[in-house]
Amino acid sequence: MSKIIFSSPGKYVQGFGIIHELGELLKPMGDHGLLIADEIVWGIVAENCDQALKKAGLTYAYESFHGEASDLEIKRIVEAAVREQTQFVVGIGGGKTLDTAKAVADDLRQPIAIVPTVASTDAPCSALSVIYTEQGVFDSYRFYNKNPDLVFVDTQICVQAPLRLFASGIADGLATYVEALAVARTQSDSMVGANPSIAGMAIAKACADTLLTYGLSAYHAVAKRIVTPAVEAVIEANTLLSGLGFENAGLAGAHAIHNGFTAIKGDIHKLTHGEKVAYGTLVQMVLENRPDAELRQYLQLYQSIGMPTTLKALHLENEPYENLVKIGELAGSPGDTLGNLNPKLSADEVAQAILAVDQLSHALS
C-alpha cells in the first residue's frame, strides 16, 4: 500500500523588521552558536545579529562561507565548529550558504536555524541540500532526517537584496506546481520518498496561484525597496510555500534541467539558480505539450520580471547542438529527477525542447 509523508520546519517566522527577535527564538537551541554567512551578508547583518543574540544572553562564533556548497567547504566549517564547541548552527544568506549550514548542522548533530536574507530560493525550509563540486558542477542531493528547527525571515532585510534575486525566487517558486503535477501524474515519489500528499499538492498550487496573482506587483514594489502585502505574500510563497511544495510534492524536469546546465562551461554560470530554473520550467512545459495559453502566461511573466527566456539570455546562443544534448544527458542522470517527468525521455528530446523554448520566446516577444 502506498504511503504519504509530510515534512516541514519546526517553526516558520516572517515579518518586517523582526531581526531583533532572533536571539529569543534561538535560546532553546543552546547557549553558544555558530553563525555562517558570506562576508557581504555578514557586513549587512552582523550588528543586528550581535545585538539580538547578546540581548538573549547567547554567545556565538562567526565562520565565513566561501561560496560553494561542496563537501570540502562543509568539512572545513564543521572543523571550525568543533574547535569553537558550538551547540547550534545558524545559516544566514542565500541558497548555497543555507544548504551548507544544513549539512554542517547534520554532521554535528546540532539544531539548525535558517535566516534567509534574500527571497530567491526555496532552500530554507527543506530537509535537503544541493551539493556541488568545488568547480560548481552539480554533484548530488543530500537528504536529512529532519527539516530546520527554525526558519526566520525578516522581510525588511530581504527587500534590500538585489531585485534580480527577488525575481529569481519568483521563477524558482513557479516551478513548484509545474513539477508537482508531473510527479503526481507519473506516480513518482516526492523528495521525502513517498507519494505526493494532498497537503503538499495544495501548498504547491497555492504557491503558483500567489505568484501568478501578485508576482508582478510585488516585483515593482521591491524595485523601490517597499514592503507591501503583495511583497509579504510573494516572500512567503518563494520561501515557505515553494519549500514545502517541492519537498512534499516532488521535483521533475525544471530542476533536473537546471542541474543539466552544469554540464556546460561559460557565462551561463553567472546566472542565478532561479534564472536557470525559469528556463528549465519552460522546457518541461514544452516536453509536456502544455497548452499555448499556459506557456504564454509563464513566458510573459518571466519576461516582465527579467528572467531569461532565450538561448542568448542564457549565454548559450553559440553552443553547438551536441552540448545541448549533454545538458539532457546530465539532466537524465539516475540521481536526478527528470524521470519523474517521463522516464523515457531522451537527451535529444530535451535538447529539442531547449531550442523550442527559444523559438517560442522570440515569437511572443
Q: Which residues are catalytic?
A: 172, 255, 258, 273
Is there a contact between 302 and 296 (Cβ–Cβ < 8 Å)?
A: no
Query: What does the alpha-carbon distance between residue 172 and residue 310 come to, in Å, rounded to a whole number?
Result: 17
- Calpha distance 154→304 (Å, rounded): 26
Q: In what order do the strands lie in the sheet with 112-116?
A: 12-15, 150-154, 112-116, 88-93, 32-37, 59-64
Alpha helices in 187-291 (DSSP H): 198-223, 229-236, 242-249, 253-260, 273-287
Contact assessment for residue 5 and residue 193, using Cβ atoms and an 8 Å cutoff: yes
DSSP symbols for 339-364: GGT-TT--HHHHHHHHHHHHHHHHHH
Give every CB contact of residue 225 below 8 A, 6+ residues apart in sequence: 159, 160
Give the DSSP letter of residue 29.
G
CB burial class (10 A; 0-12, 13-18, 19+) of residue 255? buried
Per-residue DSSP letter, 88: E
In 3D space, the residue among 213, 211, 109 whose CA is nearest the CA of residue 168 turns out to be 211
